[in-house]
Structure 1
Amino acid sequence: MHPLICTHCGEWDETPDTGAGVSVLRCASCGRTRPFLRMPLYCVSGPSGTGKSTIAGLLLERLRDRFVVLEQDLLWVSGLRDPEGHHRHFRSTWLRTAAMVQQSGRPVVLCGTVVPPEFEPLPERALFTDIHYLALSCEPGALAERLRARPAWREWDEERIDDNADFAAWVAAEAARLDPPMTLVDTTHTAPADTADAVCRWIEGLAEAEAAAG
């Protein structure tokens, strides 16, 4: 089942009516509703080298009974590496995947580099009640050293390291001004377990507030 294809009329529904509630979608073409559970999506983002992959396994251990933790690089394959529109095909595929996983009744924690301007404009954004963004950060010198220490097959030359540093600086400067804003967690001097604890508190705090709000 493709979440943007109406099961009644078969039309591609890029603007499903989410005002119908969190458990159904209403087709803009035929007006019929279909069951679909909309939940929040929690994105653990940040530039390369800040620790996303390192803490992903720790998040899985801590959250597996309530959330589904996924690593974004699992789908970073040649067929989805289209640079047009901020890798739109890749981003849309992940949103559709996360939306279908959440039909199990557990929200998704997606670990991978993404910022609000890459997800928020997409049609698949309507499949979630909210998308929350947290970005890991790191001091420039420490970030560069982490990337230089990676195996050669990962191809982190100085030009690529400089590009990543520029992106890291942009995230640090713009995080609070993005819509929605991104929460920053500095990993420069923090052990992975402590970083994972901080991220878990962020996720659990948001989930508790959303549950209390009904």
Structure 2
Amino acid sequence: MPGFLLAILLIELTPGPNMGYLAMVAARWGRRAGLTTVAGVTCGLAFYMLLAVAGLGQAILRAPLIYAALRWAGVVYLLWLATDTWRGGGETSPSHALASPDPSRLFARGLVANLLNPKAAVFYIALLPGFTNPARGDPALQALTLGMIHIAVSVTVHGAIVLAAGSARPALAGWTTGSRRRWLDRGFAVALAAIALWLGWETSRSP
């Protein structure tokens, strides 16, 4: 268990696309929006964890085309979000303020962004078997327990990122209308595009 906890802490504290996306959402729309997105990301992690526990996650490792499809779909999805945000930056009316989108939309975006991140699947497939021992009981139950511990650590780290990034939102209060709003939105669009490229680079190696 100490070795497993150390491994997942190192992985979760290593900067990655999820961190960047959650920080951007929290800075732009506040902590509540960020935590809603964390919920979506967490459900995506839980999906891949259950897939690995059931022994179905190996399909990604055995089929490079599936891995590549997930990888490029994730990159394209984040680039689409960047384009959508950039277009929103052209709207400068007072009604187009820093109001948070519908929570279901934030949740869905976090969920889809994580489902299209193949590293989430590879993480469980590669890590969990190394910390299970058939002599100590059902390996599937052990993997499920370890997976749930990882998700708890992930929620803690992601929540801390959101709370920290959300503190920047008051500083953006003067950027809610006019040309400042346009440049703010376009700045976030560029950040999303950078996260998309980050995901593409981070998943460039075969699983």
Higher helix share: 2
Higher strand share: 1
Q: Normalised by the shorter chain, which TM-score bucket?
A: under 0.3
Q: Given the two structures, how large is their TM-score scaled by the length of structure 1? A: 0.26
TM-score (norm 2): 0.27
